[in-house]
Amino acid sequence: MYDIVIIGAGPAGLTASIYARRAGKSVLLLEKENFGGQITQSPKVENYPAFCEISGTELADKMLDQATNLGADVELDEVTGIQKTDKGFTVKGERADYDCKAVILSTGSKHRTLGLDNEQELVGNGISYCAVCDGAFYAGQTVAVIGGGNSALQDAVLLSERCKKVIIVQNLSFLTGEEVLQKKLKSRDNVTIIVDNIANKLIGTEALTALEIKNTITGEITTLTVDGVFVAIGQKPENEPFKSNVDVNNYGYIVADETCVTKDKGIFVAGDCRTKGIRQITTATADGATAALAACRYIDSL
Ligand SMILES: Cc1cc2nc3c(=O)[nH]c(=O)nc-3n(C[C@H](O)[C@H](O)[C@H](O)COP(=O)(O)OP(=O)(O)OC[C@H]3O[C@@H](n4cnc5c(N)ncnc54)[C@H](O)[C@@H]3O)c2cc1C
């Protein structure tokens, strides 16, 4: 039996492994796809302290090395559920079941994508899902923001402070984000809002050069010359298998505050999969430390 099973090996889960091992607990870290999580999709990270510039894969590799060097066991397996037992929990994977005293959920979230040809190939070369992360790379350039909700409008506000021009493309005939953000954007000379249009085609092979949009009413096609496209059409937390164990909000995020404690004793949560304001590597690693130390205290109290 492990002391702690950590589900999801992004920055939150990797940091939790480091802290739990340093506290002397046995740790199993389970990952379904990609050790390192979302950050492995980022060619360049410039906002993680101590590294002026590092690729997401290199940063993830360093975290994984640190966790395994400290003695964390790692397995590639997709977790399908958690069962409470007399002695703690059984974490059910597709390949095996794992017994433990405490569980940390650090399953992260996935950005909704446009589903267009070339989209994945252009990530980091014109396509971004995070204005906070990548906005600075487009200073003085022209970008489009896809979406009209709060996240899209917040991204557009941030980008309009750095970019020459920001074009918001919304599929509905109105923006759905907060009035105050709409007012701010409408007052800015470098912001254009296009409604009733969807992103139709990404143009460019090695880097994005233009975005083709399509009017949902008339079918008219327009080509926008842009250096970047920021996709802000929502995120999807990966919490489906745990909905019977923990509380989730309307958007599927596990309800917890900075203590990283869930309503179920012995289950802790860290990183992008929980309710929080800012989803970044630094906030995920901070959660990983908090959740691990809370899990250690819980085990010591048993
Ligand atoms: C393209 C891109 C660029 C970014 N750039 C930056 C940046 O420059 N700076 C910055 O601070 N942030 C950046 N971010 C955001 C940052 O990557 C996330 O905030 C951070 O990775 C969240 O960490 P996490 O550990 O909570 O979740 P994640 O990184 O999402 O990791 C969760 C892991 O859990 C795994 N998992 C999910 N469900 C299961 C299951 N059932 N069983 C087993 N494993 C499971 C997933 O496969 C995943 O590997 C970027 C994100 C993207 C997509």
Q: What's the pLDDT tens digit per position in 189-234?
A: 999 999 999 999 999 999 999 999 999 999 999 999 999 999 999 8
**Residue 236 alpha carbon to ligand 1 centre in Å:** 11
Say how far apart CA 62 and CA 15 lie, in whole Å: 11
The tokens of 256 are what? 């917890």
Residue 265 has pLDDT above 80, yes or no: yes
Q: What integer pLDDT is reported at residue 240 of this predicted model?
A: 94
Least confident of 40-44, 116-120, 160-164, 191-195: 40-44
- Per the prediction, the chain carries an average pLDDT of 96
* Mean pLDDT score, 265-276: 97
Q: Which ligand 1 atom is nearest residue 282's CA?
A: 11
Q: Is 9 in the pocket of ligand 1 (CB under 6 A)?
A: yes
DSSP string, 181-200: HHHHHHT-TTEEEE-SEEEE
**CATH H superfamily, domain 2-110+235-300:** FAD/NAD(P)-binding domain (3.50.50.60)
pLDDT tens for 68-96 read: 999 999 999 999 999 999 999 999 999 99
Tokens 């410039």 belong to residue:
46
DSSP string, 154-184: HHHHHHHTTSSEEEEE-SSSS--S-HHHHHH
> Using an 8 Å Cβ cutoff, are 169 and 142 in contact?
no
Q: Is 74 in the pocket of ligand 1 (CB under 6 A)?
A: no
The two domains 2-110+235-300 and 127-231 share their CATH topology (first three levels equal): yes
Q: Which ligand 1 atom is nearest residue 124's CA?
A: 1
Q: Domain residues of the chain, as ranges?
A: 2-110+235-300, 127-231
Residue 9 has pLDDT above 80, yes or no: yes
Q: Is 279 in the pocket of ligand 1 (CB under 6 A)?
A: yes
Q: What integer pLDDT is reported at residue 88 of this predicted model?
A: 97
Four-CA torsion 175, 280, 105, 297, nearest 10 degrees: -130
- 42 pLDDT band, cuts 50/70/90, is confident
11-22 vs 281-300: helix crossing angle, rounded to 10: 40
Say how far apart CA 176 and CA 122 lie, in whole Å: 28
Q: Which residues contact 283 (CB under 8 A, 6 or more apart)?
A: 271, 276
Q: What integer pLDDT is reported at residue 41 of this predicted model?
A: 80
Instruction: Give exposure, 137-159, as e/b (b: 16+ Cβ within 10 Å).
Output: bbeeebbbbbbbbebbbbbbbbb
* CB-based burial label for 246 (10 Å; 0-12, 13-18, 19+): buried
Residue 43 has pLDDT above 80, yes or no: no
Q: What is the pTM of this model?
A: 0.85
127-231: CATH architecture: 3-Layer(bba) Sandwich (3.50)
Mutate to test the pocket of ligand 1, among 7, 28, 38 (most ligand atoms within 8 A of CB): 38
Distances (CA, A) of 180 to 157, 170, 176, 234, 264: 11, 17, 11, 20, 38
